[in-house]
Chains A and B, each alone.
Chain A
Amino acid sequence: MARDLRLAWRHPDEIILTLAFFALVASLFPLGIGAEPQLLARIGPGVIWVGALLAAFLALPGIFAADFIDGSLEQMTLSPHPPLGWAAGKIAAHWIISGLPLTLMSPLIGLQYGLTGDTLLVEALSLALGTPILSLLGGACAALALGARGGGMLLALLALPLFVPVLIFGAGAAEAQATGLAPTPHLSLLAAALIAALVGVPAAVVAAVRISVD
């Protein structure tokens, strides 16, 4: 696990790519829809969440691909190391190159969209709670799709429907804050979903990897 995290840190170019992608996606919306301040403040939380979701999705194939090709995935399922910790390490590495930088950068994008103080904070908080869920669910899907025909499109069909509830509650939290409602119900639901995913998904990832190297 520690090795995966070190590797993720040692290649900051991936993090920079994620951030550039995020900033580009976020700038497409004002250019495409129009730049009236009221409109931007209205769509801001959702745009940031959609950008985060797409960035997390695009980083999914990288979680296992290299290990799958060079055979170390197979070794891993045979090794005495606890595979749960190994799966958690892979997913944590994915979160470090996708979810974490996006969470830290979101206030900057939020400012561009004219979001104000508390909303920025709630948006970052919802991303901090929600993006790990995306990494977990997406990791399970990436493991299931290893070696499958259909590549990215198949992965999209598997992962995006599972991302939908996270998107709804994540964007809902910041939107509630922006319209003067309490964001706590959304945030508590996200936190509960995160705990459930932390408990359940690593086992599913290990099972999926076992299926794929069978």
Chain B
Amino acid sequence: MNWFYFSSPSTFYGLAGRLAPWFFALAAVTAVWGLYLGLLVAPTDAQQGEVYRVIFIHVPTAWMSMFLYFVMACYCGLTLVFNTRLSAMMARAIAPTGALFTAVALWTGSFWGKPTWGTYWVWDARLTSELVLLFLYFGFIALSNAFEDPRRGDRAAALLAIIGVVNLPIIYFSVQWWNTLHQGSSVSFKGTSMHVTMLTGMLVMSFSAWFYAAGAALVRVRSIILERERRAQWVRELKEG
């Protein structure tokens, strides 16, 4: 298989258009399944009561906020090393969805924190570094749109994203490195402190978030390709719709 075949925007435009509906469909199915497990089937938490059910959206969105930044930074690396156009467009397409998941993770976290910790917000390492992640996404979006020449925006924002990668391990390990109010991870490879239904629900919701993010990024990259290649012959020949 020729991997470079799909690295041209014109061929990727078609591929993304065919894949996106499948990702959205999978996201919807897994979301229904995950919400059914999380909201209707899973038993209550002995310590926190029903409010723990926020975990089924808080943890998947928080994971995705970091994972999407990592994927975006990988595309940015490709942009800087190989100067490929499509990778820069993919990074631009991922950033808004990543920022959205980061904002939702912070929001749900604070509505979970209020009844369990007694406060909507604490300035501990985990929350602060996640907030910094949100501003890195905003900075990436702002910088990529700040130049007349979109190729310059691509490359400048790519370098910024790569500098910002140092924040990811800080977020991930912050609950181990510092004594914070935020609890440590309850999922590990050695075993888990959670009920099986809870764990399944959380993982299913994480897959749903992943499918949704993939679908949204593919739909957005199609618009970006159209905007950037407006004057290209193949765009002119596209059928309406």
Decide: A211 and B142 in contact? CB cutoff 8 A. no
Chain B residues with Cβ below 8 Å from A147 are: 147
Bound CA–CA A161/B135 (angstroms): 6
**Main SS class of interface, A:** helix
Chain B residues with Cβ below 8 Å from A168 are: 128
Decide: A211 and B156 in contact? CB cutoff 8 A. yes
Bitwise interface map of A from 136 to 163 toward B, beta carbon under 8 Å scored 1, else 0: 0100110011011110001001101110
Interface size on B, as a range, is: 20 to 34
Known: A148-B147, A204-B159, A208-B156. A157 touches B80 (CB 8 A): no
Most chain B CB atoms below 10 A, which of A137, A148, A168: A148
Known: A148-B156, A207-B80, A208-B156. A140 touches B142 (CB 8 A): no
Q: How far is the CB of B205 from chain A (nearest CB, A)?
A: 28
Bound CA–CA A164/B152 (angstroms): 27
Chain A residues with Cβ below 8 Å from B235 are: none
Bound CA–CA A149/B132 (angstroms): 22
**Main SS class of interface, B:** helix
Q: Does A165 contact B (CB under 8 A)?
A: yes
Bound CA–CA A147/B80 (angstroms): 19
Chain A residues with Cβ below 8 Å from B156 are: 144-145, 148, 208, 211-212
Q: Does B42 contact A (CB under 8 A)?
A: no
Identity of the chain B residue whose Cβ is nearest the Cβ of A146 in the assembled complex: B156
Known: A148-B143, A154-B146. A211 touches B159 (CB 8 A): yes
Decide: B160 and A144 in contact? CB cutoff 8 A. yes
Decide: A204 and B146 in contact? CB cutoff 8 A. no
Q: Does B113 contact A (CB under 8 A)?
A: no
Decide: A161 and B146 in contact? CB cutoff 8 A. no
One of B80, B152, B160, B162 near A212 (C-beta < 8 A) = B152
Q: Does B164 contact A (CB under 8 A)?
A: yes
Residue positions of A touching B, CB distance < 8 A: 137, 140-141, 144-145, 147-150, 154, 157-158, 160-162, 164-165, 168, 204, 207-208, 211-212, 214
Residue positions of B touching A, CB distance < 8 A: 80, 128, 132, 135-136, 138-139, 142-143, 146-147, 152, 155-156, 159-160, 162-164, 170
